[in-house]
Amino acid sequence: MKDQYNRKIEYLRVSVTDRCNLRCVYCMPKDGIKQVAHNQILTYDEIIRICRICAGEGISKIKLTGGEPLVRKNLSELLCRLKGLEGVEQVTLTTNGVLLTEQIEDLAAAGLDAVNISLDTLDSSQYKAITRRDELDKALFGLKTVLKYPNISVKVNCVILPGINETQWIPLAGLAAEKHVDVRFIEMMPIGLGKSYPGSSQQEVLEKLEEAYGKPEALSGRFGNGPAVYVGFPEFCGKVGFISAVSHQFCGECNRVRLTAEGFLKPCLQYSTGEDLRKLLRDGAADKELKDVIKKVIFEKPRCHRFSAAENAEENTEDNLELKQMSSIGG
């Protein structure tokens, strides 16, 4: 499928839950969010139906997200069914890793292609402060365990938090020195609670890494389904990547749309526009009606986000800016 700007949309991020076992300071309030009633969350059958229709129109890559997707029961069952859909080439997972050890065997058997583990620090006290939970050992063991599965590509995602975790940028990148892991540094998205945190650019991180590991080599090509750019450091096993939506806007190459846990199809993270597919499903819509709505959402995908305060356009109005927390949208 292509949108009105001729971008090929082939990647669907599917949030399976708004719930999480952590309370990261930039993602969730201390006491959590008001959880959506279970009957308002898409069932696995409903997710499969939407993904089947999307796959028929060119979506070939699916990412399972949350909240924390591993808190939803029998996720490996959904994964297996998605892998069986005609046209679906890859199904991947984003997780905080805390529950990964106990589920990775079933996920691998179901055909998991890749996993991204969110990890902002290797310091236990700092991890507890950021996530409001004392679960670093479980997250690190989850990383260690998944690395035993050579057919599963592994990435570590670190949100750049200047003044909070900048002492950890070098140690986190060091994971790629020792292991076959790609470590990506992600600029803070000014969405929800993220608006309260100062941003920091990939250049600042790169300069610190160069001091520690030497001059990096820019790597060409795509090493995943998303917009990350990568560099290599001498004698590293893995790569270091950057996802820099603010300082290095990549909207012109954006290939994704998002399906929230409640069934709302979003063409862009920043805007609240989209369509309620859950309502259509539960009102008895036929496949053709669903397909037409999905194609409409994709075709009308905005040209770009307006995260920079200096940018101003009629799209950037209070009427359509997303006001939900990231956990409700799908990370």
User: Which string of DSSP letters, residue by residue, matches 287-330?
Assistant: HHHHHHHHHHHHHT--S----STT---TTSSTTTB--S-HHHH-
Q: Check: CB of residue 132 under 8 Å from CB of residue 96.
A: no
The CATH number of 11-329 is 3.20.20.70
Q: Is 254 annotated as a binding residue?
A: yes
Pairing of strands 61-65, 11-15: parallel
pLDDT at position 311 is 41
Q: State yes or no: pLDDT of 12 exceeds 90.
A: yes
Q: Is 257 annotated as a binding residue?
A: yes
Say what percent of the chain tops pLDDT 70: 86
Q: Is 258 annotated as a binding residue?
A: yes
Q: State yes or no: pLDDT of 201 exceeds 90.
A: no
Q: Is 214 annotated as a binding residue?
A: no
**pLDDT tens digits along 220-258:** 877 777 778 999 999 999 999 998 766 666 788 889 999
Q: State yes or no: pLDDT of 196 exceeds 70.
A: no
DSSP code per residue over 158-211: EE--TTTTGGGHHHHHHHHHHSS-EEEEEPPP-SGGGGGS----HHHHHHHHHH
Q: Is 237 annotated as a binding residue?
A: no
Q: Is 27 annotated as a binding residue?
A: yes
Q: State yes or no: pLDDT of 312 exceeds 50.
A: no
- List the one residue out of 187, 183, 112 whose CA is nearest residue 149: 112
Instruction: Note the pTM of the prediction, 2 decimals.
Output: 0.90
pLDDT at position 319 is 52
Q: Is 54 annotated as a binding residue?
A: no
Q: Is 304 annotated as a binding residue?
A: no
Q: State yes or no: pLDDT of 101 exceeds 90.
A: yes
Q: Is 32 annotated as a binding residue?
A: no
pLDDT at position 241 is 94
List all residues 6 or more positions away from 107 whose beta carbon is below 8 Å from its beta carbon.
75, 76, 79, 93, 115
Name the β-bridge partners of 121.
none
Apex 189 CA angle, 183 and 195, nearest 5? 135
d(CA 305, CA 73) in angstroms, rounded, equals: 34
Residue with the two structure tokens 């909207």: 251
**pLDDT tens digits along 37-91:** 999 999 999 999 999 999 999 999 999 999 999 999 999 999 999 999 999 999 9
Residue 135 is encoded by which pair of tokens? 């679960």
User: Looking at 112-121, 211-220, 282-291, 308-317, which range is the least confident one?
Assistant: 308-317
Name the β-bridge partners of 308.
none
Per the model's pLDDT, the better-predicted residue between 28 and 213 turns out to be 213
Q: Is 28 annotated as a binding residue?
A: no
Q: Check: CB of residue 261 under 8 Å from CB of residue 40.
A: no
Q: Is 118 annotated as a binding residue?
A: yes
Residue type (1 letter), 141: F
pLDDT at position 310 is 36
pLDDT at position 245 is 65
